[in-house]
Structure 1
Amino acid sequence: MVSDAKTPSPRVGEGWGGGSPRLCLRAVARVVQAGGIVAYPTEAVYGLGCDPRNERVVRRLLALKRRTLRKGLILIAADFTQLAPFLQPLSFDEQTRLAATWPGPYTWLVPTRADTPYWLRGRHDTLAVRVTAHPLAAALCRACGHALVSTSANFSGRPPARNVLAVRRQLGLSIDALLPGLTGGADKPTEIRDLRSHRLVRGA
């Protein structure tokens, strides 16, 4: 749990209540900025996210997921500028290929900068990144002012949560905030391809 007394409670955002969506987004963004873990809807399932620059919270998220550090993580963003600090400079053709699929449900493995943290890329020299087309996920990235870690909202080996009730049942108070909303309607996780080899890593 986030220990900062100014951070909203673990149940912030579980319902719109009388507040506006904009206020709810801001509250959940404050949890991220304070070093918390949040759940939010994406194209296919609910995701768990946090500040990718905060090693402590990333390691906490990996422990919650029971996921090894070596596998690496996905980052989502509202636009490419939020991803650029983690990536090597791209050729014109590579930028064109990404632009043709973003915003959208396409995740790419892109070569990372040498200083991209190990807790994000794992044992790889690439990082999985996506400019999301989901309006709430993109709005949350904008409210935070940076990209977010994105991993499915479930314990390793269990089905990903696809709605608020499933997130509550499976993760309960293990997370610090929940941004309610509908997923994008995709029936399976986003396709993952390697940008340079074009190899399909995870099918659509």
Structure 2
Amino acid sequence: MKLLTYDEAATALKNGEIIAYPTEGVYGFAADAMNAKAVEAVLSLKDRSASKGFIVMAASLEKLSPLIKPLTNEQRETLLGSLRGGSRYTWIVPAQDHCPEYLRGQFTTLAVRVTNHPDALALCDLMPVGVVSTSANLHKEAPLESPEAIMALFGDRIAGVMVGNVGGLSSPTRIVHLESGEVIRA
């Protein structure tokens, strides 16, 4: 099994590879959000439709600025305020017109998450923009719960599993449309 340091994981991503890494509630797969071939490889790895789009996780709202339209002060407060407390949110926000379709899928919006999970944050901080983030599993299967299980199923198709610990969330992050407040996933 190949365990990766934060720096090794970021280098693998920057080289177009896929890694598994601990997030707020599960192990996830990550690819450099700005590398279309790497993102397409995640689709293939998971047997997932490109029309769904991805969550782009970043270390800060500023790092997401090449992909999303400017937010109002109130929207920024809402999004950044969600980093406090026990729940974690993924927000649906208006995408820049030039935001790649491979990230947003069939939508004019983009799902984004600014993370404060220590390991995911350390990784995202090393990336120019952020990473696509999706659970480490096959489409419609339960997320895999250990580096050993991930490597047993995907070992030859990913660079490795980044060291760290999965956070304490017992369910996936909530997904909320920032402009309308509509809850997409509770």
Superposed pair shares fold, TM > 0.5: yes
Specify the alignment match of 2:126 in structure 1. 143
- For structure 2, the 5+ residue unaligned runs are none
1:107 aligned to 2:98?
Answer: no
Aligned residue among 23, 30, 37 for 2:18: 37
- 1:169 partnered with 2:152: yes
Q: 2:156 is paired with a residue of what secondary structure? A: helix
Aligned partner of 1:6 in structure 2 is none
Task: Report the counterpart of residue 16 of structure 1 in structure 2.
Answer: none
Cα RMSD of the aligned pairs, angstroms, is 1.4
> Which SS does the other structure have where 1:35 is aligned?
coil
Q: Percent identity?
A: 38
Structure 1 residue 165: deviation in Å?
A: 2.2
Structure 2 residue 57 is the aligned partner of structure 1 residue 76: yes
SS at match of 1:174: coil
Q: 1:99, 1:65 → 2: CA distance?
A: 30
Task: State yes or no: 1:11 paired with 2:19.
Answer: no
Amino acid of the structure 1 residue aligned with 2:32: D
Instruction: Give the unaligned 5+ runs of structure 1.
Output: 1-9, 14-23
Find out whether 1:202 has 2:175 as its counterpart.
Answer: no
Task: Answer yes or no: is 1:181 the counterpart of 2:164.
Answer: yes
Residue among 132, 146, 157 paired with 2:115: 132
The CA distance in 1 between the partners of 2:145 and 2:163, in whole Å, is 11
Matches within 5 A, 1:117-128: 117-128=100-111
**Residues in 2 aligned to 1:173 and 1:158: alpha-carbon distance in whole angstroms:** 19
Q: Deviations over 1:22-67 (max 9, x none)?
A: xx21111110111110110000000101111111111111011111
Q: Which letter maps to 1:11?
A: K
What TM-score, normalized to structure 1?
0.86
Deviating 4+ runs (over 3 angstroms): none
In the comparison of the two structures, how many residue pairs are matched?
A: 184
Q: TM-score, normalised by structure 2?
A: 0.94
Contact 2:90/2:111 (8 A) holds in 1: yes
